[in-house]
Amino acid sequence: MRLTAVACAIVIVWATLAFAAGEKNISSREAKGLLSKGKNVFLLDVRTPDEYRQAHLRGAVLIPVNEIERRLREVPKNRPVVVYCAVGSRSGMVAGYLAGKGYSEVYNMSDGIVGWYRSGFSIEH
């Protein structure tokens, strides 16, 4: 539990420092459009494994927020990255962290998988 708190604190600090570095908030509708354009977008789910098992977006890679620093190499720098969580708060922190680490095209799905579902888009179970 303490390790999780430390990891979250690190992500928050990085997100704060990287706020102006280049991440962009987009809605689930905008994310759907970006994903459908075939631009080889990397879809990053930063929720917990339990949340992911309950429902996730097709093609999403799960890297929980408390593992992002350790697993950063799994996120490609040469592709657009769309980050999502339940409602956009955790993903916003991770998007800022990625931008601060030099990722040039990072999008935070600000309404999360909840917004995606409310828009009528399909989810995987």
pLDDT at 38: 74
DSSP 9: H
pLDDT at 37: 87
Give the model's confidence band at 1: pLDDT under 50 very low, under 70 low, under 90 confident, else very high. Answer: low
Active centre residues (catalytic): 85
Query: Please, are residues 53 and 47 in contact by the beta-carbon 8 Å criterion?
Result: no
pLDDT at 17: 46
pLDDT at 51: 98
**Phi/psi of residue 51, nearest 5 degrees:** -60, -40
Give the model's confidence band at 3: pLDDT under 50 very low, under 70 low, under 90 confident, else very high. Answer: low
Query: Please, are residues 76 and 42 in contact by the beta-carbon 8 Å criterion?
Result: yes
Say how many C-beta atoms besides its own lie within 10 A of residue 2's C-beta.
Answer: 6
CA dihedral 14, 20, 21, 23 (to 10 degrees): 90
Query: Please, are residues 31 and 116 in contact by the beta-carbon 8 Å criterion?
Result: yes
Q: Please, which residues have CB within 8 angstroms of residue 118's CB and are 6 or more apart in sequence?
A: 28, 111
DSSP 56: B
Report the alpha-carbon angle 12-14-17, nearest 5. Answer: 110
Q: What is the pLDDT of residues 93-112, one digit of tens each?
A: 999 999 999 999 999 999 99
Q: What is the pLDDT of residues 12-45, one digit of tens each?
A: 544 444 444 589 999 999 999 999 987 799 999 9
